[in-house]
Amino acid sequence: MLGIALAKAKHLTEGFAPLPRGIKNHPYNDISNLEKVFSDKTAAVILELVQWQSGITKADKKFIAKIKKLAKKHKALVIIDEVQSGIGRTGTLFAYEQFNITPDILCFAKGISNGFPLGGILTSDKVSKHMSAGSHGTTFGGGPIACAIGNEVIDTISKKSFLNQVLKKEVRFINLLNKINEKHKCFEKITSAGLWVGVEVNKDSKIQIDDLIKKSHDNGLMILKANASTVRFSPSLIIENELVDEGLKIFEKSIISLL
Ligand SMILES: Cc1ncc(COP(=O)(O)O)c(C=O)c1O
């Protein structure tokens, strides 16, 4: 309930009530007036370090530095949502490692057990001493099979060699997408954070995102929508180079068919 209330999006919250109150939203990466949303009553600031819905937008380092400073000043906890950005997706085990900030609480899920249902939180000692074992339980929480899978995934993904190949493939993606753009001048912006890539289509382009996604699916490439003008690639972290190349050929073919 808190999670959906945070987004303040009507399509997510309609039909749910009562929503938690006292949430203040602030534009992402905007440091102006940031101090106005903090007070000594602020319990916590909750944020993602890479936002996919706005097209794989990374947090600005100055924005994070200011949040860190204000949270410290007002004794507010920093809660980082790494449900999407965590577990190697951005080229480090967690995205926060790239932003000079250490969360008091970090939420993770999705990639942690490669599709097997598991999610969790990590906390600093300062926070965890207030939560004894069992105080944050769920029926299936701590299931031994899910946890064993999660352990294995962490062991594999946290290896430097594994994370390096994620970063190398990010470069491959960007180079190939730039080449497509040089030929067809169809992208406004290409953004990425590890193997998480957003491609914003030119505002005056004939290409409609939904059509591009449909065409790509029809041609055998699975891509997703980030927002009304941006597609999102979120491939397996062990995707082979040949598949990156093949996928982007299909993407180019789909684009050409819509120009
Ligand atoms: C960024 C982000 N945070 C939180 C959640 C909610 O995670 P869960 O479904 O594990 O509660 C999601 C789900 O898609 C998400 O994408």
Report the pLDDT value the prediction gives residue 140, as an integer from 0 to 100. Answer: 83
Sign of the Cα torsion 114, 94, 171, 164 reads: negative
The CA 9 to ligand 1 mean position distance, Å, reads 14
Atom of ligand 1 minimally distant from the CA of 110:
10
- Is residue 35 within 8 Å of residue 73, measured between CB atoms? no
pLDDT mean across residues, the chain: 95
- Is residue 233 within 8 Å of residue 199, measured between CB atoms? yes
Going by alpha carbons, the residue nearest to atom 9 of ligand 1 is 109
The CA 72 to ligand 1 mean position distance, Å, reads 26
Report the pLDDT value the prediction gives residue 227, as an integer from 0 to 100. Answer: 93
Atom of ligand 1 minimally distant from the CA of 48:
1
Most informative mutation of 1, 2, 53, 84 for ligand 1 (most atoms within 8 A of CB): 84
Report the pLDDT value the prediction gives residue 137, as an integer from 0 to 100. Answer: 80
What global pTM score does this model have?
0.94
Segments in the chain below pLDDT 70? none
Would you list the DSSP string of 81-112? E-TTTTTTTTSSSSGGGGTT---SEEEE-GGG
Give the bridge partners for 231, in sequence order.
199, 225
The CA 246 to ligand 1 mean position distance, Å, reads 30
3-state helix vs strand vs coil in the chain, percent to 5: 40, 15, 45
CATH architecture of 2-157: 3-Layer(aba) Sandwich (3.40)
Query: For the chain, which residues make up each domain, given as ranges?
Result: 2-157, 161-258
Q: Which helix (H) or strand (E) holds 189?
A: strand 187-192
Quote the CATH superfamily of domain 161-258: Aspartate Aminotransferase, domain 1 (3.90.1150.10)
The amino acid sitting at 241 is N
Query: What tens digit of pLDDT does each residue of 72-123 get?
Result: 999 999 999 999 999 999 999 999 999 999 999 999 999 999 889 999 999 9
